[in-house]
Copies of this chain bind each other. A is one copy, B any other.
Amino acid sequence: MSFPERVRIVEVGPRDGLQNEPIQVPVATRVALIEALAAAGLTRIEAGSFVSPKWVPQMAGTEEVLASLRRVPGVDYPVLVPNLQGLDRALAAGVTEIAVFGAASEAFSRRNINCSIAESLDRFAPVVERALAAGMRVRGYVSCVLGCPYEGTVAPAAVAGVAARLAAMGCYEISLGDTIGVGTPLQARHLVERVAQDVPVARLALHFHDTYGQALANTLACLETGVAVIDAAVAGLGGCPYAKGAAGNLATEDLVYMLHGMGIATGVDLDRLCAAGDMIAATLGRPSGSRVAKARQGLRP
């Protein structure tokens, strides 16, 4: 077995996490969360989204979040941008990194953003071009890489095709997302190996949801392929443990615990990370989705 010496974690809790929580978290709390995550040593923290608040009310106020955030040198605060209007908002807010997103499933693309995969990529091209011209970095997401709620199976070649298009547009990194959390370790690993035929593995990141409890095992299986960038959300944000059927993103705490236990550096302070996660779980009025966080709460007197 061969693992990377260091893994870079992309913390998606304040965006992908909170946008899937039933409660709208106030701007001040979102700022406090992002600052706590930076203080814990995370160096890439998704700060919000310039999707219409009509569709994603949880991300309303992203401008205010960015305006009041005390930025730490060396930390990136990427923001999700769906189109040119979103890019204008990002430029006005002084954002230096954006993320765009495509689906690997035609049915999901049509239901989620109301156009085909090819049309969505055509729409992103000018967004990416303008962002790069403005000196921004651009990250690409591919969703439904291990399964689609409407189509079921998704072909690895289809994922590779979308990833390659995003890379060709100029995305410096492509994050492969198992949006519905159905994948298992060998599927995940085979997917990465297939996509790496078209996009260098050094430009790939992985994004697992823990819906079926597979997120950490999938991560482990893929680390041996050379991928060294993993998305995760503090407190497993993105699904309330009380709600039926809902489990969120891979919990950053559980990922850090595993990586440190394997001698893989992350630069993250687990104590501070747990404190940040406990804070946001308390705000949401629910237990943390991280088992490490819960275990450490139990150890306290």
Q: Give the B-binding residues of A (Cβ under 8 A).
A: 1, 3, 181, 183-187, 189, 210-214, 216-217, 219-221, 224, 241-247, 251, 254, 257-258, 260-263, 287, 290-292, 294-299
Contact = CB atoms under 8 A, between A and B. Distances in A.
Given A183-B261, A220-B221, A261-B184, A245 B294 contact: yes
B185 A244 contact: no
A213 B251 contact: yes
A24 B210 CA distance: 31
Contacts of A291: 210-213, 247
Among A3, A184, A211, max chain B CB count under 10 A is at: A184
A261 B183 CA distance: 8
Contact of A257 (B213, B242, B260, B261): B213
B210 A247 contact: no
Contact of A185 (B251, B262, B292, B294): B262
Contacts of A219: 217
The copy count of this chain in the complex is 2
A243 B298 contact: yes
A16 to B, nearest CB: 18
Contact of A287 (B241, B261, B290, B292): B241
Contacts of A216: 213-214, 216-217
Contact of A241 (B184, B210, B241, B246): B241
Among A213, A247, A260, max chain B CB count under 10 A is at: A213
B296 A245 contact: yes
A296 to B, nearest CB: 7
B262 A295 contact: no
B245 A299 contact: yes
A300 to B, nearest CB: 8
A292 B213 contact: yes
Given A186-B263, A187-B261, A220-B185, A254 B294 contact: no
Contacts of A263: 186
Nearest to A246: B298
B214 A245 contact: no
B181 A217 contact: no
